[in-house]
Chain A
């Protein structure tokens, strides 16, 4: 093997390892979110807004 071929092979193999490792890291690391996206449909039960003039029973 000539020196040129050896270097070409080394660069090719190295690049493949870097691309593969980046793909794996990207695939396994979580996506980070600061702001969540609104979910349109509420999973619980919905009621009509009634008399809001009374003080809340909750603390605060």
Chain B
């Protein structure tokens, strides 16, 4: 009997013995099974700035995991070796690490939070959900790094146990999503709005790919959408593209393009706009939107100085959006 997976907007109709587009949700005897539950292919402690999250417990370590598989197939994927892998592929091994073990690893390594990242936590939904629930009971916070391509009902359920999310907004047209990611734009926008409405700390990442989404109008449209729908205080990260996977024909994004994008987003009224994947002094730091003074001085993923006092600017007392303790 066929099964239909209603987790993400692809709503895959899966024949017996076959998997959905994500490769990790399989129809076995008419029952939808997740094959990666408890089997991450990567477990590492990263700085939280690497996610990137710049307004969430700055300078703290975060236990980060991923399983193989992804429901998107971005031609520029930086992690395609794991995101587009099948669990049974011999070249990517997994660890056995059930939710209880993950939570105890986070505690043992003094990580205040756990990140579901690298591929997309949507495809290992049940593992993410159970771990986040357990982590929440143990006082460990949960962070999603995701493309946000998920149906409303499971997303709302998961958000109950999520503290922060960095959600990719990869472009502002359906054409871009269809051509580059084999997905659609609307569900991602909806996921962003729902996450913010659920009280989750949200930061947005936009990867700028030369010739595809690097025009000033693309940037302006994206910044406006973020401001109107998520609020001007939402941190926005512009990341530089590197030729990878199926998109090796385009050049890397220049620092100038990223700096121009940052200027446009700031001029559109966003308070915190950052540059990632390329070093940029101003684009790495947090400045007070009120008095413009430097608040958090960063060098790559390292915090050089954090001047925030109880989440406020020490000079003008403006409250700064984020989770600071």
A4 within 8 Å of B by Cβ? no
> Which of chain B's residues have a CB closer than 8 A to the CB of A6?
none
Interface string of A29-47 (1 = CB under 8 A from B): 0111111111100111111
Q: A34-B154, A47-B94, A47-B95 are in contact. Are A55 and B4 (CB under 8 A)?
A: no
User: Do A56 and B3 have beta carbons less than 8 Å apart?
Assistant: no
User: Do B32 and A33 have beta carbons less than 8 Å apart?
Assistant: yes
User: Do B90 and A45 have beta carbons less than 8 Å apart?
Assistant: yes
- Give CA–CA (A13, B93) in the complex, Å: 59
Residue total for A at the interface (Cβ-Cβ under 8 A): 27
- Give CA–CA (A46, B90) in the complex, Å: 10
- Give CA–CA (A46, B68) in the complex, Å: 13
User: Do B1 and A55 have beta carbons less than 8 Å apart?
Assistant: no
B240 to chain A minimum Cβ distance, whole angstroms, is 11
User: Do A60 and B118 have beta carbons less than 8 Å apart?
Assistant: yes
A39, A48, A49, A59: the one contacting B37 at CB < 8 Å is A39
> Which of chain A's residues have a CB closer than 8 A to the CB of B222?
none
Interface string of B75-90 (1 = CB under 8 A from A): 0001100100011111
B136 within 8 Å of A by Cβ? no
A35, A48, A52, A59: the one contacting B125 at CB < 8 Å is A35
B43 within 8 Å of A by Cβ? yes
Q: Which residue of A lies closest to B46 (CB)?
A: A55
A58 within 8 Å of B by Cβ? yes
User: Do A55 and B88 have beta carbons less than 8 Å apart?
Assistant: no
User: Do B118 and A52 have beta carbons less than 8 Å apart?
Assistant: no
User: Do A53 and B45 have beta carbons less than 8 Å apart?
Assistant: yes
User: Do A56 and B42 have beta carbons less than 8 Å apart?
Assistant: yes
B290 to chain A minimum Cβ distance, whole angstroms, is 31
- Give CA–CA (A46, B30) in the complex, Å: 27
Q: List 8 additional A-B contacts (Cβ < 8 Å) besides A30-B1, A45-B94, A60-B78.
A: A27-B1, A37-B32, A42-B36, A42-B87, A42-B94, A49-B97, A52-B63, A55-B46
A-B contact pairs, 12 of them (CB 8 A): A30-B1, A32-B6, A43-B87, A49-B43, A52-B105, A53-B45, A56-B44, A58-B66, A58-B79, A58-B117, A60-B79, A60-B117
